[in-house]
């Protein structure tokens, strides 16, 4: 497995940090998740839905970001917990944390101390709004960050209804950026032998994906606003109603426009629509003309016609439709694991595949999200054996 020589100490909770750590676990790294005794990661209590009953009840939210990990418990404010953390730091390649700024320092593990214990340690720190700056100490929750980072202002039906993305996209993106930074730091460590600190935040991750909406302001001085399911710079490109269900169409070039226009009874040489710039300027009229044509038949008929003409188009699927879609299954995006209390469960799988491995991620067998403290004994035994070997 690609990262089988990497051990990650996962001090994170909720979603951003756990997602980053799970990305490493999916590629074969050993990920040791340290949780608070009794309560564990906050997301163990985020529900419904839960599976199981009583003390055997598990949160499906927790299951979404903790596969392929080991769970140990420690009270890091106690001396025993600090000693345990010190031993782990000395043996791991990566430490991931998403505490508020200053928490590790107060626990007695500032960056300088971490690198005294392990000079090659790569530390990944995810915060809400950055570790410094005038608002660096703010707590970071995804929906708040989506609003503060401008994402909600460009999402939704119109400027009066700012809308969050339907998943915690700030958390997920911060985790992805953090994991990417850690891999870069590990690569550098091969040359230098030294670890370094990788920092990102929900704010940074969300600003980092503003893409053309960002340069629209920084270069052109235009402030983007929510405009529903149509592209601000391309037309026709968006969601259109048919007789029974919506379809999405992406006419992203002049060649596609010439293939698309006759399907809906439009003249490709109509002066209002002869360039993308003109089509954007006359978007409302264009959308009305397209939907009038689409209203004559159902979605499946239109999708077949669009496919035959080579025009990119697609359904709007619900999640049950996605997870029963053969294309989803063919990509390894569903995995089956045996959970210690819930029994056989099916999880969304890793999004990466490699050419010499038919499985998603880089494992032949995926492990279920761990029970709280499931690996307390085995991890401590591992540390004991390593230290005994050094003494002998």
Alpha carbons 59 and 55: distance in angstroms, whole number? 12
Catalytic residue (one of 105, 171, 244, 270):
171
Alpha carbons 189 and 178: distance in angstroms, whole number? 16
The first and second tokens of residue 224, run together, are 């983007």
Alpha carbons 66 and 62: distance in angstroms, whole number? 6
Non-local (6+) Cβ contacts of 87 within 8 A are 383, 387
Non-local (6+) Cβ contacts of 55 within 8 A are none
Alpha carbons 190 and 117: distance in angstroms, whole number? 19
Ramachandran angles phi, psi of 16, nearest 5°: -60, -55
Nearest to 126 by CA among 183, 203, 197, 201: 201
Instruction: Reply yes or no on whether 171 is catalytic.
Output: yes
Cβ(62)–Cβ(89) below 8 Å: no
Alpha carbons 123 and 31: distance in angstroms, whole number? 14
Residue with tokens 């050419």: 355
Non-local (6+) Cβ contacts of 58 within 8 A are 44, 50, 51, 52, 339, 341, 342, 369, 371
List residues with catalytic annotation.
Answer: 171
């Amino acid at each position: 497995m690609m990262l089988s020589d990497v051990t990650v100490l996962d001090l994170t909770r909720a979603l951003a940090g756990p997602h980053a750590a799970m990305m490493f676990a999916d590629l074969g790294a050993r990920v040791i998740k340290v949780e608070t005794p009794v309560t564990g990661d906050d997301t163990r209590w985020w529900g419904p839905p839960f599976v199981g009953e009583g003390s055997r009840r598990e949160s499906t939210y927790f299951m979404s970001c903790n596969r392929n990990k080991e769970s140990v418990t420690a009270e890091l404010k106690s001396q025993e917990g600090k000693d345990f953390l010190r031993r782990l730091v000395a043996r791991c390649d990566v430490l991931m944390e998403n505490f508020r700024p200053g928490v590790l320092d107060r626990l007695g593990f500032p960056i300088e101390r971490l690198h005294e214990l392990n000079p090659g340690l790569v530390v990944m720190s995810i915060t809400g709004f950055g570790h410094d700056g005038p608002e660096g100490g703010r707590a970071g929750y995804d929906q708040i960050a989506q609003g503060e980072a401008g994402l909600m202002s460009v999402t939704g039906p119109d400027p009066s209804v700012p809308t969050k993305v339907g998943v915690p996209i700030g958390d997920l993106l911060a985790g992805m950026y953090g994991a990417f930074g850690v891999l870069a730091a590990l690569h550098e460590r091969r040359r230098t032998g030294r670890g370094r600190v990788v920092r990102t935040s929900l704010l940074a991750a969300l600003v980092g994906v503003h893409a053309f909406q960002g340069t629209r302001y920084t270069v052109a001085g235009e402030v983007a606003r929510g405009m529903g399911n149509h592209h601000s710079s391309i037309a026709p490109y968006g969601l259109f109603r048919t007789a029974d269900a919506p379809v999405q169409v992406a006419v992203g070039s002049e060649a596609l426009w010439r293939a698309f226009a006759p399907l809906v009874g439009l003249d490709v040489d109509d002066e209002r629509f002869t360039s993308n710039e003109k089509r954007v300027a006359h978007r409302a009229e264009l959308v009305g003309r397209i939907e009038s044509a689409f209203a004559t038949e159902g979605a499946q008929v239109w999708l077949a016609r669009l496919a035959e003409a080579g025009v990119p188009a697609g359904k709007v699927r619900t999640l049950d439709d996605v997870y029963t879609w053969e294309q989803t299954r063919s990509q390894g995006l569903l995995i089956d694991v045996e959970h210690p209390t819930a029994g056989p469960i099916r999880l969304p799988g890793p999004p990466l595949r490699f050419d010499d491995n038919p499985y998603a991620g880089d494992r032949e067998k995926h492990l279920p999200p761990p029970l709280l403290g499931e690996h307390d004994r085995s991890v401590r035994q591992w540390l004991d054996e390593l230290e005994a070997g050094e003494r002998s």
